Structure 1
Amino acid sequence: MHSFDLERIGSGLVVSQSRDEIERALAAGAAVITAPPGTGKTTFVPPLAANALPSGRILVTQPRRVAVRAAARRIAELDGSPLGGPSGFTVRGERLVSRDTRIETVTPGVLLRRLLTDPGLDGVAAVVLDEVHERTVDGDLLLGMLSEVRALRDDLVLVAMSATLDAEPVARLLDAPIVAIGSVLHPLEISYAPAVSARIGARGVERAFLDHLASLAVREQAAAAHDALVFVPSARDVDEVVRRIRDLSGDVEALPLHGRLTAAAQDRATSGRQPGDPPRIVVSTALAESSLTVPGVRLVVDAGLSREIRRDQARDMAGLVTVSASRSSAEQRAGRAARQGPGRAVRAYTEAEFAAFRPASDPEILSADLVDAALTLAEWGTPAGIGLGMLTGPPAASMSRAQDALQSLELIDEAGRPTRLGALVARMPVGAREGRALLAAEAAPRTAAEVIAAMSGDTREPGADLGALLRSLRRGDAPGAGRWRADVKRLERIAAEGDREAAHDPARDTDATGRVAALARPEWIARRVADGSRSYLLASGTRAALPEGSSLLGSEWIAVCEVQRADGRIADGTGAVIRLAAALAESDALEIGRVRTERISRLEQGRVRVREERRLGSIVLFSTPVRARDDDASAAILAHIRDNGIPWNDKATALRARLQLIHRELGAPWPDVSDDALLARLEDWLGPHLHGAALASIDLVSALRGLLPWPEASRLDTLAPERLDVPSGSSARIDYPAEREGRPVVAVKLQEVFGLAETPRLVDGRVPVQFHLLSPARRPLAVTEDLSSFWDGPYRDVRKEMRGRYPKHPWPEDPWTAPATAKTSKRLREG
């Protein structure tokens, strides 16, 4: 069994000074290692684990393919062995391991699929999850799933490593000690050099700002005489800045670094400069932020921008947008300059802008499309993530949408369990949508592979025409054609090896592009809204427009692959623009889409009107008026309420406010009666109380009471009574807050609560009543939640001002001993 030379590998690395502490944690079975960039954790910890564990493979995850190859290559170099020997790697479409491999570095996606195929991870001694602070969806899933594996395999060692992680939640999840590694002590100088122009405009990063970045990088590199690393948000921005640097200076070598490049080009940027080579300026996206080291860099120029997922909830779209980076990201980028010696970081923005950055980026699971994650969770046996321990649970609405999509793709059943097709797709090294299209397409495997590789790649066609893009890629004159051909080979092999649902029909090859695209996203099948229009209605209900001049404009039906928010003329008033789509035959649209016939009931001027409609999702194919039936009235009322809101009356509003307060304080099983919650389950709670009733006569009070849990319902009047008894012997109405915040209020004459010291509290003593103390004319005198303090203080000023204005009413010097009364002084004396 191969043994790594830890003295050689750890030479000069700060993390090696904590070797004994890390070994003790490994012996205990789990560890959370926090270490700033440059301490060497990625290089040192995996060999340390391999030497500590006598047999079995060490799996190491890195969040990106370029980081996987760089980490594996660096360990092999320090070990003096060939890559693919004791240190190897696996990424999508490429694997370099052997029987001698002890450390295999992989992407999180590769490990997720391996877990589904081999849940026990046979032959694996340890898993090291690196860069978990990035909080990707796959990384979060792995933490939860591996914690379950370890519960069944107490010999499996788990290590989570991070540069900026809040370690406590991960330590609790893995039941692991925290090993904190000290910082690298190289000095770091930080300065600010903002541009005159804005950084971001309506269409992304401003061209003038890219000019500024390029000239700033050239100037600072010349002054520093060291290699430089420039951070920009997107691959397109990388290419633009590299071109500008090359135009500005022939004395440096400008190298791009982003995910679209070939492996050779990525390796070129992440390998050290050889003697005699010119100085280098590497321009990178965020992939160089924390997960890999670019050797020789002592200068960082940071644009302060990042590409992050944002979801448009109304249109059910997720996409990457350019935003200001977080402070955590900016600090990590700056730290890259001081990894190997004293460094300098130049921020192309102001110090005030840096102070306004978010502390850290949100976990990806809060905004990402969760279709792939939902299929993984279903195949793992935890549909929707229920029962799986996770740092951040998936948002319920996003997970519900993802499960609906998986059902429409026929990958899960109504209970959330994988279908036969879903189980096959879950294990495939492609996304759920792409895998379904590969196995369900009737086209030849290569034809389907070509379409999906084009859909999944980063190359786009100005007119958004997927067919035109495919023709350009086949000719080899489109950017990324080489990578596309490699992806086609990989996907063709997967399609040929997979258990395909549909037999190859050669007649389908000629019109395969639209069919394959529609099979991947049936909810984005779209129909033109009118002849000559650029606007299309998607089956999901979203409207979006093709770009002006698109070659698809003559197509009545299209299969949309990519759509994003947009405003103005480009979106033709729809609020979204189609970035990639394929022409689709109507027969294919109706065959692939979810066509159904339903009765649509509406209230129009107080009368029930019914139409029978045949629909493909939200696209109406056929509509005709029909005679109303007895059960149509209820459906019409529910539809009217969904469109116009619940018609609250005073009694129902009062009951709802009481229930809102109890739910706010006690939670389940007391129901959430907010508008959103009630509308989401409208038919369940209100439907049984309609019985064809008119809108104005609905018994909302009875319907709300039907939501009350049993036996807790018997405590409603105790927890939140309608009225409050006061010392005068009468009772006062309690006004409960209509909003989620606020206190219940009792408005009562001041004299009726003389002597009341303790402020009454509701909901098992959790909520104090707020008293609005009134004058005899029922005008407000004071507002308090602390009657005792009121009697001892502010009452004196109230008495002084009011006794002359209302002399017929009692204003005693001592309110503690005075009888509480609603009477005048004279009637009080008369008894």
Structure 2
Amino acid sequence: MVGVIVMHTHLPIDEVLSALKQALSERTGAVLVAEPGAGKTTRVPLALLEEPWLQGQRILMLEPRRIAARSAARFMAQALEENVGDTVGYRVRLDTQVSAKTRVEVITEGILTRMLQDDPSLDGVGLLIFDEFHERHLHADLGLALAIESQAVLRDDLRILVMSATLEAEPVSDMLGGAPIVESRGRSYPVDTHYLTRRDDARLEQKAVRAVMMALSRHDGDVMVFLPGAGEIRRVEEALSEALRAQSPGAQVNIAPLFGQLSPQAQDAAIAPSRKGSRKVVLATAIAETSLTVEGVRVVVDSGLMRVPRFSPRTGMTRLETVPVSRSSADQRRGRAGRLGPGVCYRLWTEQDQAQLPAHGTPELLDADLTPLALELAVWGAEAAELQWLTPPPVPALNQAAELLQQLGALTAAGALTPHGRTLARSGLHPRFAHMIVQAVPLGLGQTACQLAALLGERDIVRSGPGAGPPDPDVRLRMEALIHAAGGKQRLAGRVEQIDTAAIHRIREQAEQYMRVFGIGTGKQICTDPVQMSRPEAVQDEAQAWSLLAAFAYPDRIAERRADGRYLLRNGRGAAFSQAAAANSPLAQSPYLVALHLDDQGADSRILLATPLERSTLEQHFAADMTREAHIAWDRTTKSVRARERVRLGALMLKDAQHPAPDADAVLRALQQGIAQEGLALLPWTKHAHQLQARLQFMHGHWPDWPDARDETLLATLEEWLGPHVYGMKSRDDLQKLNVSAVLESMLPWDMRQQLEQEAPTHLAVPSGSRIAIDYSDPERPVLAVRLQEVFGLKETPRIAMGKVPLTLHLLSPAQRPVQVTQDLASFWQTTYFDVKKDLKGRYPKHYWPDDPHEAVATRRTRPQGQ
């Protein structure tokens, strides 16, 4: 039994607790929709503690933010008049207050994922509560999907309760098998809402300061200002401090920043009640939209903006975008002023702008880097499509995540989880940073890696002075300030930069927490995978070590400088420095670098933060990722085979040089491809070789078992008939040494060679004694071109191919001009000859033109001897 619950006030949620208890007693799931201020976060877990179906098991309640988890646990513990860690405790990343007697654990969403991975049955847990589910954080969607599968497969008695203020309940109810929906109206005091009468083009901090100063002068109570990010909070804090000193020098107004990167102590101070006699202005991000009740707040000033990460599967990069809030988020923010009494809300936009706001925000699942999600799914052993999702994760982003995890060694090429991947998941850090730290430990760089991970997870600690332009993008300057300086002004890259002292303090604390997670300095490192421990000894140069660690975390963003000064990333994307950075930072001249932060705008992303990388470091530590290939191909310009040895790291060409010893078979293939491209004319054809090709084709036409010697067939079968004769050759000049006739003859066995000479002879002896070449250019009609006088006495047309084919006789004049074309010589002698004779005798009177060509003597001269 728990202690007596002290309820000092009645809250609207109390009216539906009976209905909620009944729903969970009859079903294993329920959806609770309760308006802001209803009290669901702090009343529901305690009200369900003694339900019979819980059987003394624990309740896990998920909160989207650490500050909300700690605050809710403290409030419930106070209601029980106990300390946090007794009946009610909390677990957030790197901070836990629970004990053996804790029954209600308020945890952040990532903690649930880790608990489910360690024990999918959630032994000892009877109820999971997803609070503020409408915020649709990635880990909440993932946790619900895993919990539903666990309930279906392992724990049919596990209860799941989804609570929200603005959620469309029906889809969630359907996911839970038609779970009952319980609704509660919140207790919200009236909030007088003011809009801008017209659009104001002033800077955000100016508009915010004017609204705050107006609120302080017109209304009582504390003020909460919603701003998109820490940068805006810092600028508003500075401007507001100056305005307060100028206009109200004696006023007791404390300014309290409230955002996620602050320490727990600073966050708790921001939500604590104001001291008597003083007022407070809380400058908050969206972290304060829900779950938190900041006592004393009566006025809200809302910028109407929020900063969200947008992941691009096209580039594999995430950028932060400042976007308008949704109407539901704006209502949540306004409700902060009406939690404890009537309030006022100043919205820094017009009523016309209000109508253009989207109704609800976009689930984080659709815009976030899904690398952590993909790793968790691999540990769970399921594809995304196998789980139930309120919004399925986009496939392109999941594919991009899987590619990165493969580069990090967390997944195999087939997508299976590796031991290294399990180690990364167990750490709870983003896989990039977890991988970096694991890789760093055997190099003796574990502490440095933790510092770099903390630095990269924080906003930039360097602020340029007025008129100085953007800060130098070199991350080494930040690491030097972090490790060697105590903050304040620091000379970096030859100029004085302002260093954020508070941020340095936070980063150092975060680095120490990372070291505890990985057991660095304790001798109990979690990175004991022998594959990971086999790296070389520690890197001696400090700056070189930072660059190597950055490359471990961002292997996909290793970049090579192009000739025009832009960079090509390993993933194939382009990147470039701004003109100012290119002109002022030596980093922009680095042959290789790691691009840590990019803005992902346009064809070439702008490099915001980077570090140079030595070529030797790249070759030593990323050799296993490099692909070595011999590029052997025909070069049409030089008419030769070029053999190049290439080494690639993704899209980066690290080496492209002449290959010292290319594979002879590959050279042969490339040469043959060159001949196929250029044509057979690349070979040294002689008149005899052309005739031989034609003779072969003539024989193939009459006997199909003979080789087909057409050009297209020869080109298609180069490997068979030409390959053995050109092995070792590389160029057109080498090919000129070939005897093409001999190569063609080698296509024939000995008996076919003999038959070729008999049935398709190269020459024919005519009655004059001359040997006349036969022209086989037209394989269907071989031609014998001979002077008419040389065939006197030849009574019939000569035939070849075993007598099947009569030669086509081109009978020539003494001047070698055709006077008759015939395949029937006997008919020519009997009929046409006499007309031809009359013509020739008139043109060539000195030549011999007999009256009887059958009996005449053939001659190569003008007349036969003796005539």
Report deviation, 1:231: 0.8
Please list, as runs of the form range in 1=range in 2, the aligned pairs for 1:194-205 lying within 5 A after superposition: 197-198=200-201
Aligned twin of 2:376: 376
Please list, as runs of the form range in 1=range in 2, the aligned pairs for 1:134-145 lying within 5 A after superposition: 134-145=135-146
Q: List alignment gaps of at least 5 residues for structure 1.
A: 199-205, 568-573, 638-690, 694-831
Cα distance change of structure 1 residues 419 and 246 upon mapping to structure 2, 3 Å threshold: same
- Give the SS at the match of 1:508: coil
Report deviation, 1:17: 1.0
Aligned twin of 2:626: 595
Please list, as runs of the form range in 1=range in 2, the aligned pairs for 1:717-728 lying within 5 A after superposition: none
Bigger drift between 309-318 and 329-338 goes to 309-318
1:420 is matched by which residue type in structure 2?
P
Aligned twin of 1:20: 18
1:402 is matched by which residue type in structure 2?
A
Report deviation, 1:425: 1.2
Aligned twin of 1:405: 404
Contact preservation (8 Å) 1:186, 1:341: yes
- Give the SS at the match of 2:45: helix
Please list, as runs of the form range in 1=range in 2, the aligned pairs for 1:624-663 lying within 5 A after superposition: 629=669
Contact preservation (8 Å) 2:632, 2:670: no
- Give the SS at the match of 1:527: strand
Cα distance change of structure 1 residues 614 and 172 upon mapping to structure 2, 3 Å threshold: same
C-alpha distance in 2 between matches for 1:337 and 1:605? 77
RMSD of aligned residue pairs (Cα, Å): 3.0
Aligned twin of 1:157: 159
- Give the SS at the match of 1:50: coil
2:504 is matched by which residue type in structure 1?
A
Aligned twin of 1:169: 171
- Give the SS at the match of 1:561: strand
Aligned twin of 1:359: 359
C-alpha distance in 2 between matches for 1:692 and 1:136? 61
C-alpha distance in 1 between matches for 2:386 and 2:673? 41
2:414 is matched by which residue type in structure 1?
A
Aligned twin of 1:563: 598
Aligned twin of 1:49: 48
Aligned twin of 1:508: 539
Report deviation, 1:597: 3.2
Aligned twin of 1:525: 558
Aligned twin of 2:195: 192
Aligned twin of 1:392: 391
Aligned twin of 1:269: 270
Contact preservation (8 Å) 1:4, 1:51: no
| 2:274 counterpart of 1:239 | no
Contact preservation (8 Å) 1:544, 1:578: yes
Cα distance change of structure 1 residues 271 and 582 upon mapping to structure 2, 3 Å threshold: same
Cα distance change of structure 1 residues 19 and 604 upon mapping to structure 2, 3 Å threshold: farther
C-alpha distance in 1 between matches for 2:554 and 2:631? 26
| 2:501 counterpart of 1:492 | no
Bigger drift between 447-456 and 606-615 goes to 606-615
C-alpha distance in 1 between matches for 2:640 and 2:364? 46
Aligned twin of 1:543: 574
Contact preservation (8 Å) 2:313, 2:396: no
C-alpha distance in 2 between matches for 1:469 and 1:493? 23
Bigger drift between 301-310 and 585-594 goes to 585-594
Report deviation, 1:402: 0.7
1:180 is matched by which residue type in structure 2?
E
**TM-score scaled by length of structure 2:** 0.67
Contact preservation (8 Å) 1:61, 1:130: yes
2:448 is matched by which residue type in structure 1?
T
| 2:75 counterpart of 1:74 | yes
Cα distance change of structure 1 residues 48 and 514 upon mapping to structure 2, 3 Å threshold: same
| 2:123 counterpart of 1:122 | yes
Aligned twin of 2:604: 575
Contact preservation (8 Å) 1:611, 1:623: no
Q: What does the per-residue CA deviation read over 1:220-254, in whole Å, with 9 as the maximum and x for residues that have no partner?
A: 23212121111110111112112222222252222
Cα distance change of structure 1 residues 14 and 76 upon mapping to structure 2, 3 Å threshold: same
Aligned twin of 1:428: 427
C-alpha distance in 1 between matches for 2:87 and 2:198? 48
Q: 2:649 aligns with which of 605, 613, 616?
A: 616
Aligned twin of 1:212: 207
C-alpha distance in 2 between matches for 1:371 and 1:544? 22
Report deviation, 1:349: 0.6
Aligned twin of 1:824: none
Report deviation, 1:692: 9.8
Report deviation, 1:551: 4.8
Contact preservation (8 Å) 2:61, 2:128: yes
Contact preservation (8 Å) 1:600, 1:611: yes
C-alpha distance in 2 between matches for 1:422 and 1:525? 21
Aligned twin of 1:657: none
Contact preservation (8 Å) 2:199, 2:349: no
Cα distance change of structure 1 residues 195 and 481 upon mapping to structure 2, 3 Å threshold: farther
C-alpha distance in 2 between matches for 1:54 and 1:248? 58
Report deviation, 1:600: 7.2
Contact preservation (8 Å) 1:56, 1:125: yes
Q: What does the per-residue CA deviation read over 1:505-557, in whole Å, with 9 as the maximum and x for residues that have no partner?
A: 553153321111111121111122248x3x32211112222434235234322
What percent of counterpart residues are identical? 33
| 2:488 counterpart of 1:455 | no
Cα distance change of structure 1 residues 114 and 630 upon mapping to structure 2, 3 Å threshold: same
Report deviation, 1:302: 0.8
C-alpha distance in 2 between matches for 1:584 and 1:437? 15
2:363 is matched by which residue type in structure 1?
P
C-alpha distance in 2 between matches for 1:435 and 1:323? 30
C-alpha distance in 2 between matches for 1:14 and 1:316? 46
Aligned twin of 1:789: none
- Give the SS at the match of 1:552: helix
**TM-score scaled by length of structure 1:** 0.70
1:213 is matched by which residue type in structure 2?
A
Aligned twin of 2:826: none
Cα distance change of structure 1 residues 342 and 604 upon mapping to structure 2, 3 Å threshold: farther
2:181 is matched by which residue type in structure 1?
I
Contact preservation (8 Å) 1:186, 1:338: yes
Please list, as runs of the form range in 1=range in 2, the aligned pairs for 1:646-685 lying within 5 A after superposition: none
- Give the SS at the match of 1:502: helix
Cα distance change of structure 1 residues 23 and 559 upon mapping to structure 2, 3 Å threshold: same
- Give the SS at the match of 2:299: strand
Cα distance change of structure 1 residues 603 and 332 upon mapping to structure 2, 3 Å threshold: farther
Aligned twin of 1:182: 185
Cα distance change of structure 1 residues 432 and 632 upon mapping to structure 2, 3 Å threshold: farther
Which structure is larger by alpha-carbon Rg, 1 or 2? 2
Contact preservation (8 Å) 2:37, 2:188: no
2:626 is matched by which residue type in structure 1?
V
1:595 is matched by which residue type in structure 2?
M
* Count of matched residue pairs: 619
Contact preservation (8 Å) 1:601, 1:633: no
Aligned twin of 1:482: 505
C-alpha distance in 2 between matches for 1:141 and 1:36? 24
Q: What does the per-residue CA deviation read over 1:382-435, in whole Å, with 9 as the maximum and x for residues that have no partner?
A: 13x131111111111111111111111110113322101111111112111111
Contact preservation (8 Å) 1:194, 1:348: no
C-alpha distance in 1 between matches for 2:104 and 2:631? 61
Cα distance change of structure 1 residues 524 and 101 upon mapping to structure 2, 3 Å threshold: same
2:78 is matched by which residue type in structure 1?
E
Cα distance change of structure 1 residues 154 and 177 upon mapping to structure 2, 3 Å threshold: same
